[in-house]
Structure 1
């Protein structure tokens, strides 16, 4: 029993050390390239930014994977990010592409981000309209005459059921 406990304790400690070693450093980890919008259509403009280059740092961006070529990320006052823009070529094919930025100035950090190309923009999608043809109808269904006839049939059935229950209760002497 003691041997099993030691083995389990050692395994748990090794697992904990491995998890801590692979965990990302929060707070200071700025080596990311943000791509907005992350899903775009051909012909749209995309903005990228990163804080990896520091407050005064600029970067050279590369969107040649999607066919947009190189672009410049310039320092800005917005959260001390380097910001740049490029336009997705009209002939871009759907898929996910890697956008790269390499910092210049004292830092030679390379950051990447993903851009997904779709053929239709999410905001331009049409919403469904109309009614579902179930045969039941509705309050404002396609045929108000049939709806009124259905309501009348339900009312007659309810009145008949009530009358039958009333008659049965009186016959039992209740």
Structure 2
């Protein structure tokens, strides 16, 4: 058992030592900012309706945390990103134009310290994802409803049920007295 544990530990160390240094660097960069993955631009909310305000965050612009955002694909134009609450994170806001059409749009941010660029997606819909839609109309079950299409048929149905209930009561009463059926 000890021999197997040593063999597995030795293999793990050999693999870690053989891994290139650049393969470990992205993991460290991603660990630096727990809120937003490095190299990505995150929109909050990710799904919006035209006219709503969007907040974007990125940890991909390094320690300066400043960038210029571009929502031109959406028609919102440029907006600034400034250092956010978390270290190494840039935050900015823009409003989705009321004329925006439904679809998925790429939002881009160009970092202030170099040629680096990060991007993310924003989904525009015509109905709010968080709004509840109230049901309207009737359910088509094939049985009909209390306020059916024809009041005459509804009245005939109610009358038939009343006759059936009266007849059933009469038969049960007669049977209870012993008169038979």
TM-score, normalised by the number of residues in structure 2: 0.56
Structure 1 stretches of 4+ moved >6 Å: none
In the TM superposition, 1:1-174 aligns within 5 A as: 25=27, 27=30, 30-105=38-113, 107-128=114-135, 132-133=139-140, 134-135=142-143
Conservation of the 8 A alpha-carbon contact between 2:68 and 2:79: yes
1:23-64 deviations in whole A, cap 9, x for unaligned?
A: x85845611100111111111101111011123320000000
Secondary structure of residue in 2 paired with 1:123? coil
Moved more, 123-132 or 85-94: 123-132
1:96-145 deviations in whole A, cap 9, x for unaligned?
A: 1110001113x4320000111111112234133677455298xxxx9xxx
TM-score, normalised by the number of residues in structure 1: 0.58
For residues 79 and 121 of structure 1, what CA distance do their matches in structure 2 show? 32
Q: Structure 1 stretches of 5 or more lacking a match?
A: 1-20, 143-174
Conservation of the 8 A alpha-carbon contact between 2:46 and 2:123: yes
Secondary structure of residue in 1 paired with 2:130? helix
Q: How many residues of Structure 1 are paired with residues of Structure 2 in the alignment?
A: 145
